[in-house]
Chain A
Amino acid sequence: MKYEEQPITVITIDELLARTTRFFQDGYRLVQIGCTKVDGKFEINYSFDKDYRFENLRVELQEGGTLPSISAVYFGAFIYENEIHDLYGISVMGMNIDFKGTLYRTTVQYPFSTDTKKEDDSCPGR
């Protein structure tokens, strides 16, 4: 069975704009931006593709931190950045279209901002 190579490069928030601009200039398309909350901090993955070559950048953000928008580089990024704001409560600065918290109209504010459930019942024998 064929499994896709998927390199993930961890970068700092300060490097984010420069690195995404380089991907854009090299002809990569933005595949997705996704957030995961792990151990009290946020991991934000930026995925790119060119000719079926998959690349990922990852930034780590502490709670209360601010993320710079890449929507000036990739226009379509605004939809992911608004999603991250509405589900996780992360502030994203400089979005080209800012819904100000109204993209997802959830009854619970920032529903994904709670820590993931801690499980200690590993099941190695299953």
Chain B
Amino acid sequence: MSRQIIIPFGPQHPVLPEPIHLDLVLEDEIVVDVIPSIGYVHRGLEKLVERREYTEYVYVAERICGICSFVHGLAYCQGVEGMMKIEVPERALYLRTIWSEYSRLHSHLLTLGLFADVLGFENLFMNAWRLREHILDDMEATTGGRVIQGSCKVGGVRRDISSEKLDQMVSGLNELEKEMKELTEVFLRDSSIKSRLCGVGVLPKKEAYEYGAAGPTLRGSGWSIDARKLGYAAFSKLNFEPVVETQGDCYARCAVRAKEMFVSIDLIRQAVQKIPDGPVEVKVTGAPDGEYFTRVEQPRGELVHYLKGNGTKNLVRSRVRTPTFTNIPPLVAMLKGCELADVPVIVHSIDPCIGCAER
């Protein structure tokens, strides 16, 4: 047996967009064990729920993550609405669906760009982020915010989108779709990308399920599990099938994200076609009493918000389980047995969002 050495990886590392630390136990160039640790950006946001009125806490919930901010706001609002049995207007549900899918588009373009950067494919990185700008422009035009949208509220949404703007958005997506096809062709067919991703960081189907993987990490290992199938917001009225790949490697996870972008565009088209007229919010009175688990599909996977109220204006508990947090045990499993040079690629293949995971 070779001598074992431990290499600290992160929290600051050129390929890491956010600070996670891994102690990599190596024998020669092979990783034989991994010890992750987090806590560098733990902010204790969940505890703030005790100090903020339940209608205001949505601003905190949105700041859990700077990438899927809207989805956190949506999950929180749904949780309160579930506790209080609030009937949200149909139009608001469709608008939430549209913004959720825009969040997925910009998140997937962001992570695919970063993935290209990790692989040393700078031109591809820049192209992915160039396309992402169009998505962010539409989010800014419709919500007022590029990063933190602030458009979701308990009882509905704060802003409506005019029919003209919705049509413009669809036209824009039709144009963007052509460029996205060119972009994803490179991710899915380029030989240099395939040689870095195929067969690397394999997470077998059984382990993916048992270790608690979520989102593209789970679907890349052959599981057709997607929280949007629960039918929250307007998803119950739209047709789609989750994108599934079966190889379980870094390529499969990359392919799931690349293909999911087209599903998102199709969902937005369907939502724009079906969105009814009407109000976008209802007046909320009283205070939440009881508890509720909300599950929504964030770009990285299933997000859970657990809320508990006691009939006062402050909730007693907000517990957020993010997909990155639950993808850490599968990441440990993927890294065991890999080569040191593949560690950055494998870590990035789960699209880690540590700010989100640590809250």
A: residues with CB less than 8 A from B are 1-4, 6, 8, 24, 29-32, 34-36, 38, 45, 47, 52, 54, 56, 74-79, 83, 86, 97, 99, 102-106, 111-112, 116-117, 119-126
In whole angstroms, what is the CA distance A118 to B120 when docked?
Answer: 53
Cross-interface CB contact of B286 among A54, A79, A99, A124, cutoff 8 Å:
A124
In the complex, how many angstroms separate the beta carbon of B284 from the nearest chain A beta carbon?
8
A122 and B287 form a contact (CB under 8 A) = yes
In the complex, how many angstroms separate the beta carbon of A109 from the nearest chain B beta carbon?
12
| B-chain residues with CB within 8 Å of residue A47 when the two chains form the complex | 293, 304
Interface-lining segment among B81-89, B192-200, B253-261: B81-89
How big is chain B's contact interface, by range?
Answer: 35 or more
Cross-interface CB contact of A126 among B81, B212, B286, B330, cutoff 8 Å:
B286
In whole angstroms, what is the CA distance A22 to B155 when docked?
Answer: 39
A106 and B212 form a contact (CB under 8 A) = no
In whole angstroms, what is the CA distance A119 to B51 when docked?
Answer: 10
| B-chain residues with CB within 8 Å of residue A29 when the two chains form the complex | 209-210, 212
Name the prevailing secondary structure of the B interface residues. mixed
In the complex, how many angstroms separate the beta carbon of A23 from the nearest chain B beta carbon?
12
A123-B286 CB under 8 A given contacts A4-B295, A117-B314: yes
In whole angstroms, what is the CA distance A124 to B47 when docked?
Answer: 23
| B-chain residues with CB within 8 Å of residue A34 when the two chains form the complex | 306, 319, 321
B: residues with CB less than 8 A from A are 35, 37-40, 42, 44, 46-47, 50-51, 81-82, 85-88, 93, 209-212, 229-232, 236, 284-287, 291-295, 302, 304, 306, 308, 310-314, 316-317, 319, 321, 325-326, 328-330, 332-333, 358
A36-B306, A76-B210 known, 13 other contacts, Cβ within 8 Å: A1-B81, A2-B231, A34-B306, A74-B212, A75-B211, A76-B329, A83-B325, A102-B37, A106-B42, A112-B47, A121-B312, A123-B287, A126-B313
Task: Name 15 A/B residue pairs within 8 A (Cβ), A-sorted.
Answer: A1-B86, A4-B294, A31-B295, A36-B306, A74-B212, A76-B210, A76-B211, A76-B326, A79-B329, A97-B332, A111-B44, A116-B50, A121-B313, A125-B285, A126-B284
In the complex, how many angstroms separate the beta carbon of B301 from the nearest chain A beta carbon?
11
In whole angstroms, what is the CA distance A86 to B50 when docked?
Answer: 20
| B-chain residues with CB within 8 Å of residue A35 when the two chains form the complex | 319
A104 and B358 form a contact (CB under 8 A) = yes
Q: Which residue of B lies closest to A6 (CB)?
A: B293
B211 and A32 form a contact (CB under 8 A) = no
In whole angstroms, what is the CA distance A115 to B230 when docked?
Answer: 34
